[in-house]
């Protein structure tokens, strides 16, 4: 009961944020502010001069390939690594030098790090015990947490008597028990199988929504980040490549790396021919012709740029004759994925373009086959220009 009443408070503010996650109007102090944060191990920079802010109630993902520094960044927020330079503020207070056990954040570990000699209840109550919360209140909170993640049945069990999925829930409950301002999650779904992972993704979002706690998640799985996050920070070699809402991240990547890392992308290198208003003409050797792109930032003629085009934005020219851009090639490979098929089309330049088609009909009337020559077109609004 207490949980619910507390949660309604959080709910209101969360909804305000999540509804307008992409264009938040948060001008109050961010819950996390990171300024020029750097962590060096010897000569290598795991985190290299990162500055970012995270707002209250956000579901913020740190996304990147292994070794990009995302875990180090998370560990610095938790207090397990001390920054080489730079500052971390939580709720306006600098905590860069505060030891881990005094920080108002809790972490869910990738390995879960459940205490093997303690029961589920004792694990969940551990943090509360450290606070000196009286036994009766503590039990109440433990019960709330177990109900929240649906593990009441296993309260007396030891971690080794639980399945992987159950352990994950205990770890989550333990990290949430103290009602931290921020919950840090290190690859929270990494150890689960695919089906369970997808189910748990939505549960995590649900719990985050109900509790109104700011979540910072480290993941290497772009699909996971896209599904859950209100914003994603894409990291590469210790630096932030791009911070954006999932939709903007996908539709408007700002660098070649970002375009390539998230989803599939066809990248056509070329140079600017002209720009009239928002209409840009780019010449690319890859497509062997001019590409018309809608782009509002000013570009200089002759500038080397890259056109990024998502595979699903390509349409069969036979059906869509009014598209601004057109290419032709031969189908070399087809990957049937069930819902869609990915076609590899080789252009005259030798470049392979990927395009996808939904498999709407079980048996298409005119299925595309290997060796077939196809004409593909796309709209000038469907692709982006990358300058980095």
- Return residues touching another protein (CB under 8 A): 78-80, 99-102, 105-107, 109, 111, 113-117, 126-127, 130-131, 158, 160, 174-175, 178
- 386: tokens are 């990358």
Question: Is 83 or 127 the residue whose CB approaches another protein more closely?
Answer: 127
Sign of CA dihedral 61, 64, 69, 72: positive
DSSP secondary structure letter of residue 205: H
Question: Is 173 or 314 the residue whose CB approaches another protein more closely?
Answer: 173
Least Å from the CB of residue 158 to another protein: 6
Q: Is 214 left (phi over 0), alpha (psi -120 to 50) or beta?
A: beta
Least Å from the CB of residue 236 to another protein: 26
Question: Is 100 or 205 the residue whose CB approaches another protein more closely?
Answer: 100
Least Å from the CB of residue 243 to another protein: 25
Q: Do 271 and 305 form a contact (C-beta atoms < 8 A)?
A: yes
Give 343's contacts (C-beta < 8 A, 6+ positions apart).
331, 333, 334, 335, 354, 355, 356, 357, 368, 374
Question: Is 108 or 282 the residue whose CB approaches another protein more closely?
Answer: 108
Least Å from the CB of residue 113 to another protein: 4
Q: Do 95 and 180 form a contact (C-beta atoms < 8 A)?
A: no
Question: Is 112 or 351 the residue whose CB approaches another protein more closely?
Answer: 112
Least Å from the CB of residue 27 to another protein: 31
Question: Is 110 or 352 the residue whose CB approaches another protein more closely?
Answer: 110
Least Å from the CB of residue 133 to another protein: 11
Interhelix angle 194-211/164-176, rounded to 10 degrees, is 20
Give the C-alpha separation, 81 to 184, whole Å.
14
Q: Do the strands 93-94 and 105-108 form a parallel or antiparallel pair, or are they unpaired?
A: unpaired
């Amino acid at each position: 009961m207490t949980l619910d009443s507390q949660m309604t408070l959080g709910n209101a503010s969360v909804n305000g944020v999540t509804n307008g996650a992409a264009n938040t109007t948060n001008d109050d102090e961010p819950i996390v502010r990171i300024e020029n944060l750097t962590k060096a191990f010897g000569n290598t920079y795991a985190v290299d001069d990162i500055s970012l802010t995270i707002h209250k109630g956000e579901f913020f993902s740190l996304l990147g390939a292994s070794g990009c520094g995302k875990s180090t960044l998370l560990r610095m927020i938790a207090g397990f690594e001390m920054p080489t330079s730079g500052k971390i503020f939580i709720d306006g207070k600098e905590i860069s030098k505060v030891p881990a056990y005094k920080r108002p954040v809790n972490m869910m570990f990738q390995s879960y790090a459940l205490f093997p000699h303690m029961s589920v209840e004792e694990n969940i109550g551990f943090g509360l015990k450290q606070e000196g919360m009286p036994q009766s209140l503590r039990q109440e909170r433990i019960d709330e947490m177990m109900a929240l993640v649906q593990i009441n049945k296993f309260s007396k069990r030891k971690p080794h008597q639980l399945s992987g999925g159950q352990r994950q829930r205990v770890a989550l409950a333990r990290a949430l028990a103290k009602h931290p301002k921020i919950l840090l999650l290190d690859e929270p779904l990494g150890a689960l199988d695919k089906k369970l992972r997808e189910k748990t993704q939505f549960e995590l979002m649900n719990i985050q929504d109900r509790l109104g706690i700011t979540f910072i998640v480290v993941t290497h799985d772009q699909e996971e980040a896209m599904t859950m996050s209100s914003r994603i920070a894409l990291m590469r070699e210790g630096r932030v490549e791009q911070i954006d809402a999932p939709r903007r991240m996908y539709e408007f990547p700002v660098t070649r790396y970002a375009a390539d890392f998230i989803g599939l992308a066809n990248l056509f290198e070329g140079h600017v021919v002209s720009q009239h208003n928002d209409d840009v003409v780019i010449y690319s050797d890859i497509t062997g012709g001019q590409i018309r792109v809608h782009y509002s930032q000013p570009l200089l003629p002759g500038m080397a740029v890259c056109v990024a085009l998502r595979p699903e934005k390509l349409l069969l020219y036979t059906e869509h004759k009014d598209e601004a851009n057109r290419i032709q090639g031969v189908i070399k490979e087809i990957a049937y994925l069930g819902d869609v098929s990915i076609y590899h089309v080789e252009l005259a330049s030798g470049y392979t373009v990927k395009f996808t088609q939904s498999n709407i009909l079980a048996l298409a009337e005119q299925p595309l086959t290997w060796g077939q020559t196809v004409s593909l077109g796309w709209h000038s609004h469907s692709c982006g220009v990358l300058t980095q």
